[in-house]
Amino acid sequence: MDVAGALYFGGENIYVSQNSSLVVDVLKDGFSDYSGNIYNDEKVEVFEVSSRNFSKITD
């Protein structure tokens, strides 16, 4: 929901940390039509890492 909200309100650079590759695969492929295709949007960048590791690898 946070990603959908960010897109709805005009977010341009949206970073997602998701530690489950299964969730990423499902939202990018299997159920992308049902999720609004949010993980394939050009404004969204998905990182398959935990939130803690995400803060370590980004500025």
3 contacts: CB under 8 Å, gap ≥ 6:
14, 16, 38, 39, 44
Backbone angles phi, psi at 17, to 5 degrees: -105, 125
Q: Which pLDDT does position 13 carry in this prediction?
A: 95
28 contacts: CB under 8 Å, gap ≥ 6:
39, 40, 46
Confidence of residue 57 (pLDDT cuts 50, 70, 90): confident
Q: Is the pLDDT of residue 1 over 70?
A: no
Count of CB atoms within 10 A of residue 38's CB?
A: 20
- Look up tokens 């993980």; give the residue: 39
